């Protein structure tokens, strides 16, 4: 009877270890995905927006105080509403302020509605 019990504890332990290994792999996959897609499941919209903005920062700077490609207006100091309007304009192709509208369209065309709202709020906090 004891040895049957031992086998069960052993099986339980193996199952537990296998479960842990799987969890670890899942984490590794998630962290590898981060630069490739905006669709990683995030804890909350604000964290996600900040993460997405890292890609925008290569042109607009992390503090939003660089003219992208020496042309765009500064993002820092603008209201969430104004930013949101422009992002939607680029996404639909209706805005082209300095001849780089098509370039900005590519940057934002995969953002969902809620991501656009969240990233606009985030940009408003840049000082
Ligand atoms: C490759 C460089 C580059 C990247 C990356 C980039 N932008 Fe831009 N952005 C520009 C340029 C250039 C303009 C000016 C576009 C035009 O001619 O209308 C611009 C314009 C803007 C504007 C309008 C600024 C204004 O008030 O006139 C907003 C808002 C904006 N970008 C947001 C973003 C967001 C959000 C991201 C990331 C999802 C992003 N950009 C990524 C280059 C970039």
Contact residues of ligand 1, CB 6 A cut-off: 52, 55-56, 58-60, 68-69, 71-73, 75, 78, 83, 86-87, 95-101, 103-104, 107-108, 119
Radius of gyration of the chain (CA): 22
| Structure confidence at residue 43 as a pLDDT band (50, 70, 90) | confident
| pLDDT at residue 14, rounded to an integer | 57
Q: Express each pLDDT in 74-114 by its tens digit.
A: 999 999 999 999 999 999 999 999 999 999 999 999 999 99
Tell me which residue has its CA closest to atom 10 in ligand 1: 68
Contact 121, 44 (CB under 8 A): no
Q: Express each pLDDT in 7-30 by its tens digit.
A: 666 556 555 555 544 555 445 434
pTM: 0.76
């Amino acid at each position: 009877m004891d040895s049957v019990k031992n086998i069960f504890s052993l099986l339980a332990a193996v199952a537990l270890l296998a479960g842990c290994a799987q969890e670890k792999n899942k984490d590794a996959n998630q962290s590898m995905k981060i630069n490739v897609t905006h669709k990683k499941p995030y804890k909350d919209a604000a964290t996600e927006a900040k993460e997405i903005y890292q890609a925008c920062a290569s042109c607009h700077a992390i503090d939003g105080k660089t003219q992208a490609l020496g042309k765009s207006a500064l993002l820092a100091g603008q209201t969430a509403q104004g930013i949101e309007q422009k992002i939607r304009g680029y996404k639909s192709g209706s805005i082209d302020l300095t001849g780089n509208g098509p370039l900005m369209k590519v940057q934002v065309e995969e953002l969902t509605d809620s991501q656009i709202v969240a990233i606009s709020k985030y940009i408003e906090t840049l000082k």
